[in-house]
Structure 1
Amino acid sequence: MSAVIISGKELATEKRTFIKEQVTKLRQFDAVQPTLAVVLVGDDPASHSYVKAKKKACEEAGINCLLEHYPSTLTQEELLSRIDYFNRNEEIHGILVQLPLPKHIHENSIIEAISPEKDVDGFHPINIGKMMINQDSFIPCTPYGILEMIRSLNVSITGKHVIVVGRSNIVGKPVGQLFLKEDATITYCHSKTKNLSDITRQADILIVAVGRANLISSSYVKEGAIVIDVGVNRLESGKLCGDVQFDSVKEKASYITPVPGGVGPMTITMLLQNTLQSAQKKASQNKTNIL
């Protein structure tokens, strides 16, 4: 029996409708317009595509998106100056600097310069640290989207063996922590892991985020596992594919995400959710100050 396909596109549409309703309420009753500042440096085609999708999603949800595009010659000092302006501007609730940045700009310095209260990407060390110890924080968007996809299936996460293939700071590490918080048992695998297929076959939930086309075949997957494919790879033919061999694995898994149309739409949706959350906090602070 073939796996049920988890449509991130459909789930994202449903969640964005709810976000739009909340944005409307915030504007009507609290006079707060959720606003996201997006900075794009250089002319990387993939970055342009991602930013375009984020701006469109913001506009559809009623979130104001301030997009600033700079040439790759922008200095680190100039970028830090813009971030400082956004940090101080009380009308801006979220700041997103599209990665990767030109080589002369130190990404960690830029991430750390963004106010944790406006870090809607969830990359700031303070937000990551708070997430690790279960304090209120912005959750990185892709891991957040993956958790929401699993929750939508109405399956218990408690006690499940979640295996994460990949250990990036953006996806691999934080997604494991999110599922640990949900009382799952977590195993991390990476490029130095020996006998990878022997380990991944133990997964009740297998999350693959390494950026290697078609790495995971059906021989890596336990019968009935839930498979989440985070990878987006472009083949020589121009076709997009994930890290998982979709056609073969879907015959063995119980649920599987497609590429495209799986995790990607949920990542942008959780960016909208984080921006909304930041604006809601601002509205709550305004009420407190009035009182």
Structure 2
Amino acid sequence: MKECTIIKGKPVADRITEEVIKDVEKLKVSGIEPSLAIVRVGENPDDMSYERGAVNRCGKTGINVVNVVLSEDISEQEYIKEIENLNERNDVNAILCLRPLPKHIDENKIKNIIEPSKDVDCFSSINTAKVFEGDKTGFPPCTPSAVVEILKYYDINLSGAKVGVAGRSMVVGKPVSMLLMDENATVKICHSRTQDMEKELSDSDIVIAAIGKAEMIDSKYIKEDAVVIDVGINVNSEGKLCGDIDADSVMKKAGMLTPVPGGVGSVTTSVLAKHVVKACRQQNGL
């Protein structure tokens, strides 16, 4: 039986980190210190885990971090004031709002208050529009960007490739489709209302799984030797962390597969650091 290659995120993250370290050193020689503000509401374990990873990555690259930790019961108006304060601060180049926000804070209101030039994870409607226009001055979401970074690192040809995306959220499905089309891929988006998703995905050279259902996609959805990128983070019936891909099944057919954990998720904080440097450079006219 042929062997499926497991393509890990760590070497991708390490290479991006090396590039960011060099960029930060150059900025510091010019007297510029890039900095990121991370805004967290409450003690959500997922938020805290991502925050730790982001702080750790920024520490490795020399990016300053401002941690803004707010109480779970902060009012919407107070939250807006915190974002407006960060918008005004010259010593803050980038803002990351950890989401989802509590239900009493309207994300649709906040996304139009955050300064687009500091919005490094595509919360603002302006950055969303830039992703869809292919405007490179914007900031695509970090997770879809991590998917593209992995594909490029492993020399997977995107130009003309048939890509099947499972999931149409604004978090992954739609933006990753736009980024892949920018690389001249032919993209098909599938979702919960797609008729015969197995058939639609199984002729794809590359499958991006971002549907949010534990181990839903098995070998029936995958063509022989396809490249499979698993963006899902779920807990299966045995209580183990898993993706949207049934890895044991898919490995019998796929040519390449990202693991969960250790795949896409491990690249996102490196992309975040890269975006902070980009924001800093743009704000300083570099």
Superposition TM-score tier, normalisation by shorter sequence: over 0.9
Task: Please list, as runs of the form range in 1=range in 2, the aligned pairs for 1:59-138 lying within 5 A after superposition.
Answer: 59-136=59-136, 137-138=138-139
SS at match of 1:112: coil
Name the amino acid aligned to 1:36. L
Aligned counterparts, 1:155-194, within 5 A: 155-194=156-195
Supply the distance in 2 between the matched residues of 1:198 and 1:4 (Cα, whole angstroms).
Answer: 24
Give the Cα–Cα distance (whole angstroms) in 2 for the partners of residues 237 and 64 of structure 1.
40
Tell me if structure 1 keeps the 8 A contact 2:117–2:283.
Answer: no
When normalised by structure 1's length, the TM-score is 0.95
- Note the C-alpha offset of 1:250: 1.6
1:36 and 2:33 are equivalent in the alignment:
no
Unaligned runs of 5+ residues in structure 2 are none
Cα separation, 2, equivalents of 1:107 and 1:69: 17
Q: 1:208 touches 1:231 (CA, 8 Å); kept in 2?
A: yes
TM-fit CA distance, 1:236: 4.7
Partner of 1:3: 4
Q: Given the two structures, how large is their TM-score scaled by the length of structure 2?
A: 0.96
Q: Which residue of 2 aligns with 1:48?
A: 48
In structure 2, distance between residues paired with 1:41 and 1:268: 19
Deviation per residue, 1:143-175 (Å, 9 max, x gap): 111111111122321111111100110110000
Deviation at 1:282, TM superposition (A): 2.5
1:283 is displaced (CA, Å) by 2.9
Note if contact 2:215-2:236 (Cα within 8 Å) is conserved in structure 1: no
Query: Structure 1 residue 123: deviation in Å?
Result: 2.5
Task: Determine the C-alpha separation between the residues in 1 that align with 2:61 and 2:239.
Answer: 31
CA deviation map 1:84-123 (0-9, x unaligned): 1111111111001100111100112112211110010023
C-alpha distance in 2, partners of 1:200/1:166?
A: 12
Output the CA distance in 1 between the equivalents of 2:94 and 2:219: 41
Q: Report the equivalent of 2:148.
A: 147
Corresponding residue SS for 2:123: coil
Where 1:72 maps in the other structure, the secondary structure is coil
Q: Secondary structure at the match of 1:113?
A: coil
Aligned residue-pair number:
284
Counterpart AA for 1:74: I
**Structure 1: distance between partners of 2:47 and 2:110:** 17
Q: How does 1:178-257 map to 2 (within 5 A)?
A: 178-257=179-258
Query: CA separation in 1, counterparts of 2:131 and 2:197?
Result: 28
Distance in structure 2 (CA, Å) of the matches to 1:230 and 1:201: 18
Q: Which residue of 2 aligns with 1:288?
A: none
Equivalent position SS for 1:150: helix
Which residue is 1:289 aligned to?
Answer: none
Query: How many Å apart are 1:237 and its aligned residue?
Result: 3.6
Aligned partners of 1:123 and 1:170 also within 8 Å: no
Deviation at 1:55, TM superposition (A): 1.1
Displacement of 1:284 in angstroms is 2.7
Partners of 1:221 and 1:249 within 8 A in 2: yes
State the Cα deviation string for residues 259-279 of structure 1 (Å, max 9, x = none). Answer: 001000111111111001011
Q: Is the partner of 1:22 in helix, strand or coil? A: helix
Query: Identity of paired residues, percent?
Result: 38
Q: Which secondary structure does the structure 1 equivalent of 2:68 belong to?
A: strand
State the one-letter code of the partner of 1:212: K
For 2:16, the equivalent position in structure 1 comes to: 15
Runs (4+) of structure 1 moved beyond 3 Å?
none
